[in-house]
A and B are shown apart, each in its own frame.
Chain A
Amino acid sequence: MENITNAITLVPLNHYILLSSIIFFIGIIGVLTRRNAIIVFMSIELMLNAVNLLLTAFSAYRGDAAGQVFVFFIMAVAAAEVAVGLAIIVMIYRNNNSIDIDLLNKLKN
């Protein structure tokens, strides 16, 4: 039994951390370099998913189910954020006829 569970995963924890930080920073680069509001949103989803992967990896590493329960809460927050955020994007599109985030600088002056 012990041998079988040992054989399941032999990947170092560092590699999980590295993978999720790479995905997280790809998301950050996406937020910084794109002007399309929807793609900025998708980059945020990418960052949330990187965090989910990290939480699950730590949860499996420590043998503690709390991390996996937290992933549920992150998913719930992501869904609420997407619902309100896309409603805001559609609203902006109706007013500006564009979803370019650089046009949203009316508070600047």
Chain B
Amino acid sequence: MTATASPTGAPAATQATPGDDAVGTDEAVGRARRRAADRVLLDTVRQGRWWTGALAVANVVVAIGNLLTPAALATALDTVLGSARGASEGPLLVLGGVLAAGIGATVLLELTQPYSAAASTVWLRSKLVDRVLALGVVGLRRFDTGDLVTRLGGNTATASAAGAVVLASALSLATSAGAVVALFLLDPLLGAVFLVGVPVGLALITVFVRQSSELYGRYQQLQGDVAGRFVDAMAGIRTIRSAGTVSREVDRVLVPLPELSRAGRSTWQMQGAVTWRLLLLAPLVEIGVLALAGWLVTTGRLTPGDLVAATGYTTMGLVFFDQGSILIALSRSRAAARRVAEVLSDPPAAPRSGSAVLPAVGDGTGGELVLAGVTVCSGGLTLLDGLDLRVPPGCAVALVGPSGSGKSTLAAVAGRLIEPDAGSVRLDGVELSTLDADELRRAVGYAFERPTLLGTTVLDALGYGIPAPVPEDLVAAAVAAHADGFVRRLPAGYDTRLADAPFSGGEAQRLGLARAVARRSRLLIMDDATSSLDTVTEVQVARAIEHALDGRSRLVVAHRAGTAARVDLVVWLDGGRVRRVAPHAELWSDPAYRAIFAAERVDTVASSTEEVSS
């Protein structure tokens, strides 16, 4: 994760956020962001097209149906009660019609809501995936991987629900308002009694929202504690297995359980307390209205049917209290849209590609990489500072330096995973940013310290991104990277699905290396791509790669002295600048150079050889 999260070595936390340097405009920035979020929301809702339109129509019909029902019921009731002999069917037919229309509209509502949400989600997700892929590594500087997955998965779905939520809110408000108006129309006193209860209800809702977030926070914290212990035990499973202590581990994971149970009970008790208050309020308002209506029946101002209607409108008026949950849903949608909008519209800008092509060279021939005055800044830090570098055609060049010296940043700039803030990067004389995107990826291959293997099967993963991969070439690349042996030992060999073959770090590294070798690019960039291999394997792999890549150019980030010793030229980086360029043997006499390897990971060939020779 760390390898993907900060491939340039820049900690994500130090990223500058807009507004840092202009304190006075914080509010304006916030407003602009909210506007951007609402724009995304609006665009998303529009994608529902006529499904959203039909949903709106359904909502209007449902609201009208709801509001007409008590009145129609009252008229029907008065008719059937008043004309015990010789009834008129008219009001009954009206009631039946109103109910039927309500059902039809509700069916339409239930159908159009998911249709419109699905259309919105598909659109928003595709837009966001394109953006994430266009941002590439640059995006990962600003957003954590897990965070991006949430934005793409959960947040898009929540944002897409906004249309339905807004309409539901409007429906609920219109119904409530209409019901209050209806109560006033029945008798102004009824409306007045109803309105007295409303402020109390609003106060209760506020209390609920505030209390619940605290209690749920405590509960979720304890849940996280259990999950953390669980993950710890899973990570140490080989120790637990060999020590035979699994039942003790189960107990350890469950230690916070009593506390969790207590916190859980508090949340239920809180819910009970809130329900109790709401249950007291709602019916007492209803009883108040009902008592008043009954008295009005006695005085002849209302009919018995009106009494039923008054009850119905009171219940309907109280639908207003659902507004609390609807408002929460709406604010959730807006928050989600804001998180989506941050990815879509906030800086950094996605790198653009040109249409230039590279001068043709024969297969197996290396390219010439020239960096001139390359500067890369991130979060106020200068990672590369006006750096010049040349990788001659067909040469292997190692980047060596203490951590933070800019090795990985340089590796990322050299193949345009990130763009320099200043300076130029040219491959065979062509500026990378003017290159056609496909041409660039054909020309430059990457192997990483922790590669992510993508695709369906092992073979597919090796040819991932190659337009028409030749299986024999892929296997040859696997042989070169010393991956062929363990792949053939898998249950289905090269056809084993990636999901069925969890690879160790060293195995994944060799597959990533094979994937890069298979591309036959004129420049291969290896960013610490053999670090998980033991010293025995690293030597074997390095030899095979040299043979397989004979004649092509290589840029290698080296942490081990042995790696640096095997290349043509070492570029010694320090503080984002080139300190010296020379063969390893020449640099080795410098104690400062040797100190780099002593401070690096301990399993270096240098430290082993020192022991052997001493």
A and B co-occur in one complex: no
Interface residues in chain B, defined as those with a beta carbon under 8 Å from any beta carbon in chain A: none
Interface residues in chain A, defined as those with a beta carbon under 8 Å from any beta carbon in chain B: none
